[in-house]
């Protein structure tokens, strides 16, 4: 069955890639406005939910606007059109354009915002700079009469077991023989009280998120034909998570810091402020840490990862000054918007592929052409005054 997907289906696809539970507690992600049953034929991706982007969404006939930054990061009690945000959301609603936000949940996703930034800079072998604790997993094992195995397996899958990456209903099965002796008060599905019974059984093993343990066990008890089914639940040891904040990777070949800055300026979308760098121009750069958006909390993590340079945004004077004094880590400061914009193309491409793989036609996707970096004017430092030693000497 094909057709234009509903907003509900598109949101489900986005949530699967950028799970709301991954967002920071203070964040505001997910569907902001829109009818879940409305059809979505065209989606526009942008960094910021601002008036110019909303106008662009209307101009191209978008049914859904997906932004990285939230519109309402703090609780509101109304959306009167006396303010910019009220005007924006009211205009979207009148135009029938839904709004969806993927923010810190997209930052830590794999692939996420920093993966896209690393890709445009040519980094390889990337790993999270600050890995997210992996999702806790269990494994459930049960033994079912052969004829009932598929039915029980389906029930466990419906309750949340058997999901591994993009695969569903994953299980391992093997056949053997079960034996039991029903007591006098038992009501066995197979056999008689007081008589030893042997049954050809299928062993079923499935992984499950730990938070789904109660639901999966409940489904097992309902679906299993035995009065007292045997089952085990094991807590699994997990490998490091591929999700997390920032990324660290390798350049194909070492280059000087000045060459890296020049190449980064070419790879990222242009902004008035351009790029600033801290460190010797001839410092060798091979291992690079990146973080889309604000990343001056990651200096220690970048050093621990062996990075020669950290490229991020919103670097403040004092942390940067301290980093310069500590030495060993070069810094490149880009515009916040520019470091997050590369993710838009990845997210658009991924959504189109995810919906195309399902039961719907591929939606049309577009990336906003609006430069929403807020800084508009720039005066080169060379036009300013340079303090001189004589001026200091002239102080009375």
As a whole number of angstroms, the longest Cα–Cα distance in the chain is 110
Domain 113-132+244-337 bears CATH identifier 3.40.50.300: no
**pLDDT tens-digit series, residues 314-355:** 999 999 999 889 888 999 999 999 999 999 999 999 999 999
Residue ranges of the domains in the chain? 7-106+342-367, 113-132+244-337, 137-235
> 196 φ, ψ to 5°?
-65, 135
- Tell me, what's the pLDDT at 1? 40
Instruction: Identify the CATH number of the domain defined by range 7-106+342-367.
Output: 3.40.1390.30
**CATH topology of 7-106+342-367 equal to that of 137-235?**
no
| Inter-residue contact 137 to 208 (CB < 8 Å) | yes
Through-space distance between the first and last CA atoms of the chain, rounded to whole angstroms: 85
Q: For residue 78, give Cα distances in angstroms to 28, 65, 69.
A: 16, 21, 20
User: Taking 80 as the threshold, does the pLDDT of residue 303 lie above it?
Assistant: yes
Is 0.85 surpassed by the pTM of this model?
A: no
- Tell me, what's the pLDDT at 239? 77
CA 188 distance to own-chain centroid: 48
**Quick one: pLDDT band at residue 391, thresholds 50, 70, 90?**
low
User: Taking 60 as the threshold, does the pLDDT of residue 360 lie above it?
Assistant: no
CB neighbours (10 Å) of residue 339?
30
Tokens of 188: 């066995």
| Inter-residue contact 146 to 200 (CB < 8 Å) | yes
Q: Which residues pair with 287 in a beta bridge?
A: 250
Residue with tokens 């299980």: 171
Over residues 31-36, mean pLDDT:
96
- Tell me, what's the pLDDT at 74? 83
**pLDDT tens-digit series, residues 40-98:** 999 999 999 999 999 999 999 999 999 999 999 887 888 888 889 999 999 999 999 99
Angle between helix 342-357 and 7-17 (nearest 10): 120
User: In the chain, pLDDT over 70 holds for what percent of residues?
Assistant: 95
Q: Which CATH architecture has domain 137-235?
A: 2-Layer Sandwich (3.30)
- Tell me, what's the pLDDT at 116? 98
Over residues 271-295, mean pLDDT:
96
């Amino acid at each position: 069955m094909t057709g234009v997907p509903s907003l509900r289906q598109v949101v489900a696809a986005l949530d699967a890639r950028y799970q709301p539970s991954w967002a920071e507690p203070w964040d505001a992600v997910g569907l902001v406005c829109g009818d879940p049953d409305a059809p979505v034929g065209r989606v526009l991706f942008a960094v910021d939910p601002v008036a110019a982007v909303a106008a662009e969404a209307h101009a191209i006939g978008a049914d859904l606007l997906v932004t990285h930054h939230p519109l309402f990061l703090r609780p509101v009690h109304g959306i009167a059109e006396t303010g910019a945000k009220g005007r924006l959301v009211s205009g979207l609603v009148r135009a029938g354009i839904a709004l969806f936000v993927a923010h810190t949940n997209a930052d830590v996703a794999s692939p996420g915002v920093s993966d896209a930034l690393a890709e445009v800079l040519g980094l390889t072998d990337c790993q999270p700079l600050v890995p997210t604790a992996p999702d806790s997993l269990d494994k459930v094992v049960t033994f079912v009469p052969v004829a009932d195995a598929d039915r029980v397996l389906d029930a466990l899958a419906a309750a949340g077991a058997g999901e591994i990456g993009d695969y569903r209903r994953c299980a391992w099965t093997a056949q053997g023989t079960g034996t039991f002796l029903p007591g006098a008060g038992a009501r066995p599905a197979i056999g008689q009280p007081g008589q030893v019974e042997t049954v050809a059984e299928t062993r079923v093993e499935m992984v499950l998120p730990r938070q789904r343990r109660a639901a999966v066990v409940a489904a097992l008890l309902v679906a299993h034909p035995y009065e007292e089914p045997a089952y085990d639940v094991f807590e699994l040891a997990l490998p490091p998570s591929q999700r997390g904040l920032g990324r660290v990777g390798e350049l194909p070949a070492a280059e000087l810091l000045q060459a890296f800055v020049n190449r980064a300026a070419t790879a990222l979308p242009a902004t008035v402020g351009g790029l600033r760098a801290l460190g010797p121009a001839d410092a060798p750069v091979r291992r690079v840490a990146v973080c889309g958006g604000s990343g001056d909390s990651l200096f220690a993590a970048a050093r621990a990862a062996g990075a020669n340079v950290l490229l991020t945004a919103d670097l403040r004077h004092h942390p940067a000054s301290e980093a310069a004094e500590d030495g060993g880590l070069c810094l490149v400061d880009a515009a916040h918007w520019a470091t997050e914009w590369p993710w838009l193309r990845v997210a658009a491409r991924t959504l189109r592929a995810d919906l195309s793989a399902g039961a719907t036609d591929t939606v049309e996707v577009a990336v906003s052409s609006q430069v929403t970096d807020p800084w508009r004017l720039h005066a080169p430092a060379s036009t300013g005054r340079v303090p001189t030693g004589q001026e200091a000497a002239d102080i009375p």
